[in-house]
Amino acid sequence: MSYQIIKYKLNVDGTTPVFVGKNLPQGLWGNYIEGSFAPCDNWFIGVTNGKEALPNGQAELISTKTDLKNYLDTFTTEWHYPAEPPLEPMEDGNPFNQEVEANWLWSKLKELNS
């Protein structure tokens, strides 16, 4: 089984599921799920451990870099990177770049699977 990019929810005890790879990109770009209860109230992006099956309802495969970018587009359009000096602490930094972030994570996936 190869590594894959997924969106996933935490376990009910707040821990990271076993199917998410340890020491691999995980917990990225939380997306709040309206009507869900903590700690299972966000979808996170991560990389699988390459071994475990994905449980229905707790994880979904993101099959392509385009799918990842499109998913990020659904909830990050108003995000900004943290402000850097000389900006004042309350000023926004540069707008979040979904394509750059999708490319970064997809390149990590390619490295893992090579």
35-43: Cβ within 8 A, 24+ apart: 36/9, 39/10, 39/11, 39/12, 39/13, 39/14, 40/9, 40/10, 40/11, 40/12, 41/9, 42/9, 42/10, 43/7, 43/8, 43/9
- CA 80, CA 77: separation in Å to the nearest integer? 9
When pLDDT is cut at 50, 70 and 90, the band that residue 22 belongs to is confident
pLDDT for the residue 13: 96
Look up the domain containing 106 and give its range. 5-113
The model's pLDDT over 38-61, given as tens digits with 9 standing for 90+, comes to 999 999 999 999 998 999 999 999
pLDDT for the residue 94: 83
CB 49 within 8 A of CB 37: no
| Domains in the chain, number | 1
The structure tokens listed for 36 are 């869900």
Q: What's the pTM value of the predicted model, to 2 decimals?
A: 0.86
The structure tokens listed for 11 are 């376990």
DSSP 3: -
- CA 1, CA 101: separation in Å to the nearest integer? 25
